[in-house]
Amino acid sequence: MLNKIRESYYGTQPSNDPVLEVMNRLPEHIVKDYLQKINLKHAGVLLGLQQSASGINIILTKRTTKLKNHAGEISFPGGSYDGFQDKNIIETAIREANEEIGLAQTSSEIIGFVPPQISLGTGFIVTPVIAFVEDDFSPVPNPDEVEEIFQVPLDFLMDQVNLEHQHKVFDEIKWSVYSYSYEQYYIWGLTAQIIRKFCNLINR
């Protein structure tokens, strides 16, 4: 599976203009009624894959309830692009993963990118950076940002039976919202959308 993932994402690059790419992909009424009315910001997240005895897992975090955005929700390590610290969105994802779960740059290998996604309610255009994480890496949560770190088997997420879909209205616009329920964790919204896109590109 590792080789299949590597082959699926070989040659992928972060978008030169994530905002334009997202706008070109979404229906015109969403662009006019939502995207063009908010201050869009850039962010990067790390989609970390780690090999275990039972297979490949995706590393996820549960955010603390004291955070400003998406408090208490399931997410990838990641955050806002910082022009003073980051040369590009890859450095954003790596820096944030180090801050949130203690992942050093030397403990991961960047192998590709999922197309940029929109985060509803926050105005972030998010670039997911895919990385293979060393087998012996043991995450350490930053208590200011992360309540818990856990892993979900990729096989579970690849199975379409486990993907749920519904429509929700946000700012008077109907959006497709995806979710996964794994053990006690409810993975939905942007995180679920990124996982869905990631899995779809492997399955194609």
CATH code, domain with 73: 3.90.79.10
Q: What is the pTM of this model?
A: 0.93
72: in domain: yes
**Which residue ranges of the chain lie beneath pLDDT 70?**
67-71, 203-204
By residue range, what is the domain housing residue 104? Answer: 2-157
Dist. CA 62–CA 75, nearest whole Å: 6
pLDDT of res. 38: 83
8: in domain: yes
Residue whose pair of structure tokens reads 């070109």 in the numeric block: 24
178: in domain: no
Domain count, the chain: 1
Estimate to the nearest angstrom the gap between the alpha carbon of 22 and the chain centroid.
15
115: in domain: yes
Dist. CA 121–CA 62, nearest whole Å: 18
Residues whose CB falls within 8 Å of the CB of residue 142, separated by 6 or more in sequence, listed in order: 99, 100, 101, 102
174: in domain: no
9: in domain: yes
Backbone angles phi, psi at 64, to 5 degrees: -70, 160
User: Are the beta carbons of 73 and 66 closer than 8 angstroms?
Assistant: no
Dist. CA 22–CA 193, nearest whole Å: 13
84: in domain: yes
32: in domain: yes
pLDDT of res. 168: 81
pLDDT of res. 67: 61
Residue whose pair of structure tokens reads 């990729």 in the numeric block: 154
pLDDT of res. 116: 96
